[in-house]
């Protein structure tokens, strides 16, 4: 029994080590509950806890009996502060202090209402965004789709009667830069956009009718260095 | 310390960072006694402890802009105090102070005055608390008097949390030994 007690003292349990913090009331809820349960079932631990409470009370008594510093300490401090260089508060520190003071000045009830109002505002915002997305059947992504022609692009096309024809062109992987430049010269074409290996080319400086555009596309597809050519807005 | 006070301490620190002397006075008024007592228990010299608090709060004045709020302001203050106290002790080469104090409690066994004190467990306990080593005194004070959690003590003393727990356990064990030497048995250990 003696050996066992000695061993226990040499290697204190986790709960045993937490007892002082339990006496001081500084444990979190989970640990406090663990300690309470252990105290209820272990009389030896409860005796040790009683001893700790004595130590706790006397430590407070001892510290309180130490008195307080004289006014000299404060005078010395503020004399030293007077000799410190004057600081100019930065804008960011003024803003952060203002925010901190604002929230510190709010009562818990006001803070709770503010948080609630913010949550409602977020929900409303989410609702509006959702409604817009649901209506947006004609919404166009940034991808280069040649088959789907959204209403918006159609409208744009109707208003652009005098614009030169355009096409999406993919060049063959072995096409040389010189060949591509030659093709652009031959067709009086300029690159006006492109992505993912596709180039948007504009041809000439005037508009073409449907047959002319079809003929142009057919001619383009016949080029050795062109692997894809589709008319595009 | 309440959460509300901790929050307003942080506001004070933010104002001090802007050079607000009134905020400095408020913070000083709120914490200087505890800082003084913590320092005094470490250095055991009132004059030095008073010098310490001036140094601690001057550091606060200078470093307030760097305070990141990772710990409570009171925890930060105690950590600075501890650092300053240990520096002061090193300056004085006063390491033998603890040994003298520990010897004092044992030597007093034959003192008739102490024999009377033995009857008063509370007073003997306080005497033995004073006789603990600086390392043990500070951890007892931080937990019991300054009401610091395991995490906060770990931050102040710069040791792992498990070491905090075991150090306090052994401080209490040493306290029990000192009491036993003074003729007082408390049923633990």
The answer, yes or no, to whether residue B46 has pLDDT greater than 60, is yes
Query: Please, what is the Cα angle at B3 between A103 and A102, to 5 degrees?
Result: 10
Return the residue of A nearest to B52 by Cα: A73
At residue B28, the pLDDT reads: 96
For the stretch A208-217, contacts whose Cβ atoms lie closer than 8 Å and that sit 24 or more positions apart, written own/partner, are: A208/A164, A208/A165, A212/A165, A213/A165, A216/A165, A216/A167, A216/A187, A217/A167
Tokens representing A172?
């063959």
Q: What is the pLDDT of residues A166-193, one digit of tens each?
A: 888 888 877 877 788 888 888 888 888 7
Return the residue of A nearest to B51 by Cα: A73
User: Would residue B183 be called left, alpha or beta, if left means φ above 0 and alpha means ψ between -120 and 50 degrees?
Assistant: left
Give the mutation candidate from A9, A27, A59 for the B interface (greatest B CB count, under 10 A): A59
Is B122–A58 a contact, with Cβ atoms under 8 angstroms apart? yes
User: CA-CA distance, A127 to A144, in Å (whole number)?
Assistant: 30
User: Are A170 and A199 in contact, with CB atoms under 8 Å apart?
Assistant: yes
- Which ipTM did the prediction report? 0.83
The answer, yes or no, to whether residue A155 has pLDDT greater than 50, is no
Say yes or no: B90 contacts chain A, CB-CB below 8 A.
no
User: Are B179 and B71 in contact, with CB atoms under 8 Å apart?
Assistant: no
User: What global pTM score does this model have?
Assistant: 0.60
User: Are A206 and A212 in contact, with CB atoms under 8 Å apart?
Assistant: no
Q: What is the pLDDT of residues A4-47, one digit of tens each?
A: 444 445 678 999 999 999 999 999 999 999 999 999 999 999 99
Return the residue of A nearest to B166 by Cα: A17
Alpha helices in chain A (DSSP H): 2-10, 14-24, 29-41, 43-64, 71-82, 91-105, 108-135, 151-158, 177-186, 210-221
Which residue among B11, B21, B57 sits closest to A100, beta carbon to beta carbon? B11
The answer, yes or no, to whether residue B136 has pLDDT greater than 90, is yes
User: CA-CA distance, A76 to A95, in Å (whole number)?
Assistant: 32
Asked if the bond preceding B189 is cis, omega within 30° of 0, the reply is yes
């Amino acid at each position: 029994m003696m050996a066992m007690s000695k061993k226990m003292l040499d290697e204190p349990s986790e709960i045993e080590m937490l007892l002082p913090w339990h006496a001081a009331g500084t444990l979190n809820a989970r640990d406090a509950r663990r300690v309470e349960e252990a105290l209820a079932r272990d009389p030896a631990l409860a005796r040790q806890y009683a001893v700790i409470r004595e130590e706790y009370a006397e430590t407070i008594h001892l510290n309180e009996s130490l008195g307080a510093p004289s006014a000299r300490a404060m005078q010395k401090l503020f004399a030293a502060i007077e000799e410190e260089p004057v600081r100019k508060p930065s804008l960011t520190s003024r803003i952060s202090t203002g925010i901190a003071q604002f929230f510190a000045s709010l009562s818990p009830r006001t803070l709770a209402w503010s948080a609630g109002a913010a949550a409602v505002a977020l929900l409303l915002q989410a609702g509006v965004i959702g409604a817009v997305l649901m209506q947006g059947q004609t919404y166009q992504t940034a991808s280069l789709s040649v088959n789907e022609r959204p209403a918006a692009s159609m409208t744009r096309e109707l208003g652009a009667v005098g614009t030169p024809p355009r096409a999406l062109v993919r060049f063959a992987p072995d096409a040389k830069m010189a060949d591509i430049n030659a093709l652009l010269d031959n067709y009086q074409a300029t690159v006006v956009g492109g992505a993912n290996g596709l180039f948007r080319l504009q041809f000439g400086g005037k508009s073409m009718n449907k047959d002319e555009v079809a003929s142009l596309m057919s001619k383009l597809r016949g080029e050795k260095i062109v692997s894809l050519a589709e008319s595009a807005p | 310390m309440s959460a509300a006070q901790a929050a307003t301490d942080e506001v004070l620190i933010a104002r001090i960072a802007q050079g607000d002397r009134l905020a400095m006075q408020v913070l000083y008024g709120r914490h200087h006694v505890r800082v003084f007592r913590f320092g005094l228990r470490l250095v055991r010299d009132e004059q030095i402890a008073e010098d310490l608090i001036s140094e601690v709060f001057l550091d606060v004045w200078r470093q307030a802009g760097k305070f990141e709020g990772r710990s409570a302001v009171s925890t930060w203050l105690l950590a600075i105090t501890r650092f300053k106290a240990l520096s002061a002790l090193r300056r004085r080469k006063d390491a033998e102070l603890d040994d003298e104090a520990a010897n004092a409690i044992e030597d007093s066994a034959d003192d008739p005055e102490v024999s009377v004190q033995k009857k008063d467990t509370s007073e003997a306990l306080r005497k033995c608390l004073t006789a603990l080593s600086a390392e043990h005194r500070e951890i007892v004070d931080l937990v019991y008097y300054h009401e610091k959690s395991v995490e906060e003590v770990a931050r102040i003393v710069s040791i792992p949390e498990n070491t905090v727990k075991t150090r306090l356990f052994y401080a209490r064990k040493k306290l029990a030994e000192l009491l036993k030497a003074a003729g007082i048995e408390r049923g633990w250990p």
